[in-house]
């Protein structure tokens, strides 16, 4: 028995068809969580990045998020090689055209006619399934980056009764570096020191090697797009698929935010050995001649040469409410969905779901209990619960605002939240686990030290406090109390903290957050215990909600569609009111 991964084109493995970057707000949290569980995304990003920045440092630690500009080709090569080296895994270039049930097994057939009998199958077709490209009035069947689409599987999935719908997304042009005038453009540098994505790496090994540049659209850009908006396949109604609300095309931004005089763009390198530059924030599906005209209105792009035009892609994906939180299909045991196929958008969201579907398909085959990631332990859990419980009407992008526990689900403590679970599942190897235990030990020691160290009042201490805009002292103070002051960080007091051990920066940051936010964290943990209490109120699988008196009609329909596994999930279904939940609780207690 072995695992096989099928792709229409081997060069699509690890390919980033849109922005050449990994992470960003909330997406960085997902990458850290994948890493904490033993995944490869964080390590590969650290190995192939060009520039790294911690976003939102001006705000609280709940929204601090890592984002790295990557060498796109290098990233794909490294990922593909890791798959090729993986024991018990075969990577196959073959288009799957048919899937059907064969007794307890799944039978898949490729375009060449090869057949494979499988105990479990994970569908992660991305933007390839029924892929169709749009540039102005030109459209044709294609996957991203000029690759073949998956043209046959949709029919087979529909035969199985799988609820599919059309989504769309778009990408900007790639332009020639030497055709850009960088003079006068704002330069965006990476952070020093670089914070690694992977808990297996330390900042000492990582260096930025590239910068990004910032520019803006202007009234001329707006005029050209407004004058040609009738040529947009989106506004001409040619594109049926629903696009991502939080990654709008430039024409979308111009129409939806018409009061805004300008829109920001980032000019990002795509790699060390390529002259392609990515225009972040400028995706479009307008005709090529209009693209050339509006790009040339932008400062720095006056003489721009387009290498790859911007385009929109429409594709088939599933209604994720057809899935359990294990990502297994409710109606098709052994069949799983992952990635963009589940209605999400983004590399990080796709990778997180691929990991969960992979874990559960393997556990199912091994006869072990499958794993559900909760909203209380991870953004992975929040992502999947949102998809399978609330569903999505447009491509779902992860954001920190989607989590009600974001102060507990920070990007810095993903290992504390998930590495023990990864170890239990069998994904976390000894090296990673020992490194994790060591870090926990260091943190516990430092917490103890901070609680025990008392700094006597001194001129030096008061000088620091006054300089940081907080009140001076005339009595001694514990290190922990000092760190509770919002203005004071470990860096600020290193001169007086002479017994400080030499620990990784991540340990000091984790301890500082514990002290600074202890009250909020305590409150959020209390909310989590309350949530767990109602999450544990399980609902029988075979309920016919239309028979429960007192439930409103909409609630009956939604509950019968989603079939929640517990009261907590039921309470998050849109259209199920608190009154409906009370009816359910009474019904349950009468059982
Ligand atoms: C034009 C475009 C714009 C995008 N815009 C955004 C954006 O704005 N924001 C954002 O966050 N993300 C965006 N994305 C990124 C998107 O999230 C990614 O496409 C992400 O890579 C999805 O990952 P995935 O693994 O689900 O699918 P993909 O990376 O698309 O991989 C799917 C894999 O499945 C294979 N496959 C499909 N069907 C079959 C079959 N029948 N048989 C065998 N193999 C098959 C393909 O060959 C491919 O290897 C965009 C992508 C594209 C193409």
265: CATH: 2.40.30.260
DSSP string, 2-30: -EEEEES-GGGTT---S-SEEE-TTHHHH
CA-128 nearest atom, ligand 1: 37
The protein residue with its alpha carbon nearest to ligand 1, atom 13, reads: 346
- Asked if 190 and 267 sit in the same domain, the reply is yes
Number of domains in the chain: 3
- Shared domain for 490 and 573, answered yes or no, is no
| DSSP conformation letters of 560-590 | HHH--SBHHHHHTSTT--HHHHHHHHHHHHH
Residue 241 CA to residue 311 CA, distance in Å, equals 14
Buried (b) or exposed (e) across 37-55, using 16+ Cβ within 10 A?
bbbbbbbbbbbbbbbbbbb
Phi, psi angles (nearest 5°) of residue 192: -125, 130
* pTM: predicted TM-score of the whole model, two decimal places: 0.96
Q: Does ligand 1 lie within 6 Å of residue 95's CB atom?
A: yes
**DSSP symbol at 117:** E
556 assigned to some structural domain: yes
Q: Which two tokens stand for residue 464?
A: 């620091």
Whose Cα sits closest to atom 24 in ligand 1? Answer: 126
* 197 and 270 inside one domain: yes
**Is 273 part of a structural domain of the chain?**
yes
User: Which residue's alpha carbon is nearest to atom 45 within ligand 1?
Assistant: 7
Say yes or no: CB of residue 318 within 6 Å of ligand 1.
no
Using a 6 Å cutoff on CB, does residue 96 contact ligand 1?
yes
Residue 569 in any domain: the answer is yes
Residue 17, ligand 1, Cβ within 6 A: yes
For residues 214 and 302, membership in a common domain is answered with yes
- Among 4, 346, 353, 383, name the best residue to mutate to test ligand 1's pocket (greatest count of ligand atoms within 8 A of Cβ): 346
Domain range enclosing 292: 174-314
**Residue 164 burial (C-beta neighbours within 10 Å; 0-12, 13-18, 19+):** middle
Closest ligand 1 atom to 339 CA: 26
Say if residue 510 is in the same domain as residue 554: no
Provide the token pair at 348.
């990080």
CB 383 within 8 A of CB 398: yes
Q: Does the beta carbon of 313 sit less than 6 angstroms from any atom of ligand 1?
A: yes
Of 314, 339, 370, the last residue of a domain is 314
Cβ neighbors of 453 (< 8 A, separation 6 or more) are: 478, 479, 497, 499
State which of 285, 314, 343 marks the end of a domain.
314
Ligand 1 centre distance from Cα of residue 236 (Å): 25
- CA 125 to ligand 1 center in whole angstroms: 7
The number of beta carbons lying within 10 Å of the beta carbon of residue 365 is 14
Residue 415 falls inside a structural domain: no
CB 43 within 8 A of CB 35: yes
Atom of ligand 1 nearest to the CA of 397: 11
Asked if residues 133 and 188 have their Cβ atoms less than 8 Å apart, the reply is no
- Atom in ligand 1 nearest the alpha carbon of residue 244: 8
State the DSSP H helix or E strand holding residue 288, giving kind and residue range, or none if neither: helix 288-295
Q: Identify whether 41 is part of a domain.
A: no
> Ligand 1 within 6 A of 346 CB?
yes
- How far, in Å, CA of 7 to CA of 163, rounded? 23
β-bridge mates for residue 98, sequence order: 109
Q: Two tokens at 580?
A: 């409906």
The answer to whether residue 153 is domain-embedded is: no
Residue nearest to atom 28 of ligand 1 (CA): 126
- Give the CA distances from residue 118 to residues 91, 103, 276, 338, 404, in Å, rounded to whole numbers and listed in that order: 15, 11, 41, 17, 39
CA angle 368/371/376 to nearest 5° reads 155
**Which residue among 106, 128, 171 has the greatest number of ligand 1 atoms within 8 angstroms of its CB, and so is best to mutate?**
128
Q: Is the domain of 545 the same as that of 469?
A: no
Q: What is the pLDDT along the chain (591 residues), one digit of tens a residue?
A: 799 999 999 999 999 999 999 999 999 999 999 999 999 999 999 999 999 999 999 999 999 999 999 999 999 999 999 999 999 999 999 999 999 999 999 999 999 999 999 999 999 999 999 999 999 999 999 999 999 999 999 999 999 999 999 999 999 999 999 999 999 999 999 999 999 999 999 877 899 999 999 999 999 999 999 999 999 999 999 999 989 988 899 999 999 999 999 999 999 999 999 999 999 999 999 999 999 999 999 999 999 999 999 999 999 999 999 999 999 999 999 999 999 999 999 999 999 999 999 999 999 999 999 999 999 999 999 999 999 999 999 999 999 999 999 999 999 999 999 999 999 999 999 999 999 999 999 999 999 999 999 999 999 999 999 999 999 999 999 999 999 999 999 999 999 999 999 999 999 999 999 999 999 999 999 999 988 888 888 998 888 999 998 999 999 999 998 899 899 999 999 889 988 999 998 898 887
Ligand 1, residue 94: give the atom nearest the CA. 43
Q: Are residues 227 and 284 in the same domain?
A: yes
Whether residue 188 lies inside any domain: the answer is: yes
- CATH classification of the domain holding 508: 1.10.10.1800
Nearest CA to ligand 1 atom 17: 346
Judgement on whether residues 306 and 221 belong to the same structural domain of the protein: yes
Determine if ligand 1 sits within 6 Å of the CB of residue 266.
Answer: no
Q: In this structure, are 502 and 552 located in the same domain?
A: no
On whether residue 375 sits in a domain, the answer given is no
Hey, what's the torsion of the CAs at 509, 513, 515, 517, to 10 degrees?
170
């Amino acid at each position: 028995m072995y695992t096989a991964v099928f792709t229409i084109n081997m060069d699509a493995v690890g390919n980033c068809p849109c922005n050449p970057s990994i992470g960003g707000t909330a997406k960085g949290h997902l990458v850290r969580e994948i890493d904490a569980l033993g995944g490869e995304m964080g390590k590969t990003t650290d190995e192939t990045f060009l520039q790294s920045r911690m976003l939102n440092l001006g705000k609280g630690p709940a929204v601090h998020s890592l984002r790295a500009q990557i060498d796109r080709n290098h990233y794909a090569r490294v990922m593909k090689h890791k798959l090729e080296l993986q024991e018990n895994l075969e990577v196959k270039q073959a288009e799957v055209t048919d899937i059907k049930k064969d007794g307890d097994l799944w039978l898949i057939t490729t375009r060449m006619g090869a057949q494979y009998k499988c105990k479990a199958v994970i569908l992660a077709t991305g933007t390839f399934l029924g892929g169709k490209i749009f540039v102005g009035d030109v459209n044709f069947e294609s996957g991203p980056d000029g690759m073949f689409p998956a043209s046959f599987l949709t029919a087979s999935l529909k035969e199985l009764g799988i609820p599919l719908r059309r989504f769309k997304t778009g990408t900007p042009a790639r332009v020639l570096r030497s055709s850009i005038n960088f003079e006068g453009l704002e330069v965006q540098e990476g952070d020093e020191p670089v914070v690694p994505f992977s808990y297996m790496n330390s900042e000492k090994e990582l260096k930025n090697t590239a910068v990004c540049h910032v520019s803006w659209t202007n009234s001329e850009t707006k005029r050209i797009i407004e004058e040609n908006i009738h040529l947009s396949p989106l506004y001409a109604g040619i594109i049926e698929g629903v696009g991502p609300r939080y990654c709008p095309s430039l024409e979308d931004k111009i129409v939806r935010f018409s009061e805004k005089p300008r829109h920001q763009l980032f000019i990002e390198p795509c790699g060390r050995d390529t002259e392609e530059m990515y225009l972040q924030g400028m995706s479009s599906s307008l005709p090529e001649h209009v693209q050339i005209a509006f790009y040339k209105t932008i400062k720095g792009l006056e003489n721009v040469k387009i290498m790859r035009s911007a385009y929109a892609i429409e594709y088939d994906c599933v209604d994720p409410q057809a899935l359990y939180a294990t990502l297994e299909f409710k109606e098709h045991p052994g069949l799983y969905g992952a990635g963009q196929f589940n209605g999400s958008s983004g590399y990080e969201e796709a990778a997180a779901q691929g990991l969960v579907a992979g874990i559960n398909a393997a556990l199912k085959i091994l006869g072990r209990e499958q794993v559900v990631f909760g909203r209380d332990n991870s953004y992975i859990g929040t992502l999947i619960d949102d998809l399978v419980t609330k569903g999505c009407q447009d491509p779902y992008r992860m954001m920190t605002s989607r989590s009600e526990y974001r102060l507990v689900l920070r990007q810095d403590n993903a290992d504390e939240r998930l590495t023990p679970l990864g170890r239990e599942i069998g994904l976390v190897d000894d090296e990673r686990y020992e490194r994790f235990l060591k870090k926990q030990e260091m943190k516990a020691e430092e917490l103890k030290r901070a609680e025990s160290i008392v700094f006597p009042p001194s001129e030096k201490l008061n000088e620091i406090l006054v300089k940081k805009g907080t009140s001076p002292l005339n009595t001694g103070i514990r290190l922990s109390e000092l760190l509770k002051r919002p203005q004071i960080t470990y860096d600020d007091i290193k001169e007086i903290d002479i017994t400080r051990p030499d620990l990784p920066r991540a340990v000091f940051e984790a301890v500082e957050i514990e002290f600074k936010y202890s009250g909020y964290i305590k409150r959020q943990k209390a909310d989590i215990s309350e949530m767990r209490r109602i999450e544990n109120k399980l609902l029988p699988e075979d309920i016919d909600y239309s028979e429960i008196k007192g439930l409103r009609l909409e609630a009956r329909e939604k509950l019968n569609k989603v079939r929640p596994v517990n009261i907590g999930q039921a309470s998050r279904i849109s259209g199920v009111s608190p009154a409906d939940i009370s009816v359910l609780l009474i019904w349950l207690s009468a059982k």
